[in-house]
Amino acid sequence: MVCLGNICRSPLAEGILRHKLNELQLDNIIVDSAGTSNYHIGESPDKRSIKNAREHGIDLSSLRARQLISDDFYEFDHIYVMDRSNLANAHAVAPSEELKNKVMLILSLNDDSTYDEVPDPYFGGPDGFELVFNLLDNACNKIIERIKADNND
Ligand code: 4NP
């Protein structure tokens, strides 16, 4: 899960997906998040993301921001980004043209076409975080469907 700062959107995405996988006892799947920038390395998620997640029964408090690195393209099967700027920045870190194919806009999984990018809630109010949560919750349901389909191959 990748955004710009790794303090607002991608920690929520990480927390939501891990929570769903735990509930399904699919906890052998490694979920992580990172930012394309170095702005917030080592920091906890934004207080507003922590609060929003807590309201949904998810604890983000132990997460710490890190920056996306080229090794992540070998470590992970899928790299989900929040917006097109993350997509371009992630592509710039990819070690090869082929590995760029691991990166996708997370909302391209959702049926609802109102949003194709997860809006950055950093400069807005709490409503923005709830919108982000709902968009990511839907997308994570789609990711779980993909994982189940892959496991049945
Ligand atoms: P995120 O939000 O990419 O969802 O973590 C942001 C966090 C920090 C900044 C921008 C977006 N910033 O400019 O510091």
The pTM of the whole model exceeds 0.85: yes
Catalytic sites, residue numbers: 3, 9, 120
Written as six digits, the tokens of 147 are: 């994982």
- The mean pLDDT of 16-31, rounded to a whole number, is 96
H or E stretch at 126: helix 126-151
Tell whether ligand 1 has an atom less than 6 A from the beta carbon of residue 15.
no
Tokens 């779980």 -> residue: 144
Collapsed DSSP state (helix, strand, coil) of residue 78: coil
Ligand 1: which residue has its CA nearest to atom 10? 5
Mean pLDDT taken over the chain: 96
How much distance in Å is there from the Cα of 76 to the middle of ligand 1? Answer: 23
Tell whether ligand 1 has an atom less than 6 A from the beta carbon of residue 5.
yes
C-alpha dist (Å) from residue 13 to 44, 52, 96, 153: 15, 12, 26, 26
Ligand 1: which residue has its CA nearest to atom 13? 5
How much distance in Å is there from the Cα of 8 to the middle of ligand 1? Answer: 6
pLDDT at 112: 80
100-137: per-residue pLDDT in tens?
Answer: 999 999 999 998 879 999 999 999 988 999 999 999 99
Answer yes or no: are the C-beta atoms of 58 and 16 closer than 8 Å.
yes
Tell whether ligand 1 has an atom less than 6 A from the beta carbon of residue 76.
no
